[in-house]
A and B are shown apart, each in its own frame.
Chain A
Amino acid sequence: MSARWLLRRLLLIGYTLLVVSLLVFAITQVLPADAAVTLLGENATPDALAAVRVQLGLNDPVWLQYAHWLGGLLHGDFGTSMRSGQPVLPVMLTALSRSLLLAVLSIGLMLAVAVPLGVLAALRRGGAIDLLAGLVAYLGVSLPEFVTATLLLILFADMLHWLPATGYVPLAENPADSLRHLVLPVVTVSLILVAHVSRMMRSETIDVLHSDYARAARLKGLSPATVLFRHVLRNALLPVVTIVALDVGYLLGGIIVVEEIFAIPGIGRQLIVAIQNRDLPSIQAGALVMAATYAVANFLADVAYAVLDRRIRYD
């Protein structure tokens, strides 16, 4: 990993955020909501509306509005919410911190389930575990999060009363209760990730098991366990890093739905609320924060890949 590669990669993040800002601005610009009306209410006088439009720069040409907005972003000024009047960036970042716990737990659960499942399925192809893994994979990619979440709610909260239905408890306040509230959301979000990663893990393990060096290790007389852990797993796990980073997109999408259903005040729910209120600055900030999260996750994955796999030398 050379300094040049790192620099290029960081520049790409900058380009990504620029394109995303343009995209978000272009989409939200055509939102059929007059910002002045949203701010003052339906009963405002035409004079007051006109004054606010001048104040917000709504009469400026579009490119100038974008330039002003982008200039503000670069200074950390994402605007203020049209509903609450609060600066939107701190609100979104607080919400993101709540979502991060959900995201990290989901990735952790996914790895704990998907890696063993994929490896066992590969070791006994056509066996019971392989069939189970196949079933999980099909269910994972075919059940939308809102269906999984609702079915889990019915089963574990409504019928069995094992877990609380909805709500959010900060981790610092009461860790045990906080985690109990997160069980169903985490299971829902990780299902689709388990589906992807266990399939990937299975096919990678099969590939590596058939490789020359795995054969050589077996012929050398190493025990099957040593071959598996020292040679096969290390190589089969590498591509998983990349697929997990790409899956952050699904993760963020899942988080939007799950936070809405389980009433978790994270970034996804803030975004839905902002969309329902037609609160432009909040929508823009929420979308940008999410995209930045994705871009950073992929950057970290590339770096991790380069560190883990010495054969790869990025120039």
Chain B
Amino acid sequence: MIRRLLRTPQGAIGVVLLALVALACVFGPALAPRDPEALDFLGRFHPPGAGHWLGADQLGRDVLSRLLVGARTTVPLALLATLLGTLSGAVLGTLSAYLGGRWDEAIMRTVDAVMAVPGLLLALLIASTLGKSGGNAMIAVAVAFVPGMTRVTRSVALAARRQDYVAAAIARGEGGAWIVLREMLPNVAAPVVIETTIRVSFAVMLFATLSFLGLGAQPPSSEWGLMVAEARRFLHQAPWMIAAPGGAIALTAIGFNLLGDGLRDALNPRDER
């Protein structure tokens, strides 16, 4: 399975990119060449080069160091948000498929209705309600993912619902919760995992967008979206202050997208597209 994933070009590049991101998350502070909070007023707006590989910001802080330390406040929260959101959506979608009939109709029409609120808007509303912080932004992103994931999972779970093992479990007199969680959910896992992987990239972007709009991580955090927001005022003097965190977000998102596509190819070898 993993060997097949690495044989697809997308999968291989994705794994490499994400390995770099994981490295920054785990060892970021140790790898940082300088203290990310150290102020240096003589070195303000130092362009990229010797001493500051990715330049310095308006307070003379080293951009590369801030980026490496900021990985921890950006990526794990986005991952957690995706896991929370997709898992809740997967359970709800499977439940809807299991119940069927009027319940299924009611759940799905409500999910459709909630999907009329764009993900960013829903996340904005929730984040502004809960208060500005990284943790709250994570919950907001998770909630915004539930309706879409419910839909995806239900479409797969409908097929699982007709399988004999579900009929057998019902005949054995198993409870609904058991059938949904232990019989059906594991059998819809593969497509859900692919969808989840791709959604992490969306979560990274959504999370950074919330911070960019001032509703996520707060200064002096070096969360990447926040770094871009702060750098906007110095766009003329120091474009590298935007390019570095912007590029980091993009590479992380591309990594998860490539991994998701690679997984899809590895799991469906017959699909040529």
User: Which of A15, A141, A272 has most B Cβ within 10 Å?
Assistant: A141
* Residue A283 at the chain B interface, CB threshold 8 Å: yes
Interface residues of A (CB under 8 A from B): 12, 15-20, 23-24, 27-28, 30-32, 138-139, 141-147, 150-151, 153-154, 158, 203, 206, 249-250, 252-253, 256-257, 260-261, 271-272, 275-276, 278, 283, 287, 290-292, 294-295, 298
On whether the beta carbons of A287 and B235 are closer than 8 Å, the reply is: no
Q: How large is the interface on B (under 10, 10 to 19, 20 to 34, 35 or more residues)?
A: 35 or more
Cβ–Cβ contact B126 & A27, under 8 A? yes
Mask, B89-121, CB within 8 Å of A = 1, is: 000000000000000000001101111111111
Known interface pairs A23-B114, A142-B254; A253-B128 also in contact (CB < 8 Å): no
* Distance A153 CA – B253 CA, assembled complex (angstroms): 22
Is B153 part of the binding interface, using a Cβ–Cβ cutoff of 8 Å?
Answer: no
Cα-based distance from A119 to B225 in the complex (angstroms): 35
Q: Closest CB-CB distance, B19 to chain A, in whole Å?
A: 17
The smallest C-beta distance from B211 to any residue of chain A, in angstroms, reads 10
A206 to B273 alpha-carbon distance, docked (Å) = 9
Q: Which residue of A lies closest to B127 (CB)?
A: A275
Can you list 26 A-B contacts with CB-CB less than 8 angstroms, sorted by A residue number? Answer: A17-B116, A19-B110, A24-B125, A27-B129, A28-B129, A31-B129, A32-B129, A138-B257, A141-B201, A141-B202, A141-B253, A143-B205, A143-B249, A144-B206, A146-B208, A146-B228, A147-B242, A253-B118, A253-B119, A253-B120, A256-B121, A278-B128, A283-B125, A287-B125, A291-B117, A294-B116
Contacts of A143 in B (CB 8 A): 205, 246, 249-250, 253
CB neighbours (8 Å) of A276 from chain B are 214
Asked if A32 meets B131 with Cβ closer than 8 Å, knowing A27-B125, A27-B126, A146-B212, the reply is: yes
Count the A-B residue pairs with Cβ separation under 8 angstroms: how many?
137
Take A16-B113, A151-B242 as given contacts and tell me if A138 and B125 are in contact as well, using a CB distance cutoff of 8 Å: no
Q: Kindly state whether residue B150 has any CB partner on chain A within 8 Å.
A: no
Chain B 122-135 interface 0/1 with A at a Cβ cutoff of 8 Å (1 = within): 00111011010000
**Interface, chain B (partner A; CB < 8 A):** 109-110, 112-121, 124-126, 128-129, 131, 201-202, 205-206, 208-209, 212-215, 225, 228-229, 232, 235-236, 239, 242-243, 246, 249-250, 253-254, 257-258, 273
Q: How far is the CA of A158 from the CA of B239 in the complex (A)?
A: 10
Nearest-neighbour CB distance to chain B for A180, whole angstroms, equals 19
A154 to B213, CA, bound (A): 19
Residue of B nearest to A257 (CB): B209
Are A158 and B128 touching (Cβ within 8 A)? no
Which A residues are in CB contact (< 8 Å) with B112? 12, 16
Distance between Cα atoms of A16 and B233 in the complex (Å) = 40
In contact, B254 and A138 (Cβ under 8 angstroms): yes
Residues of B within 8 A of A249 (CB): 115, 118-119
Residues of chain B lying within 8 A (CB to CB) of residue A146: 208-209, 212, 225, 228-229
Report the bound CA distance from A256 to B3 in whole Å: 42
The reply to whether B118 and A294 contact each other, CB–CB distance below 8 Å, is: yes
* Structural contact, A144 and B273, CB atoms closer than 8 A: no
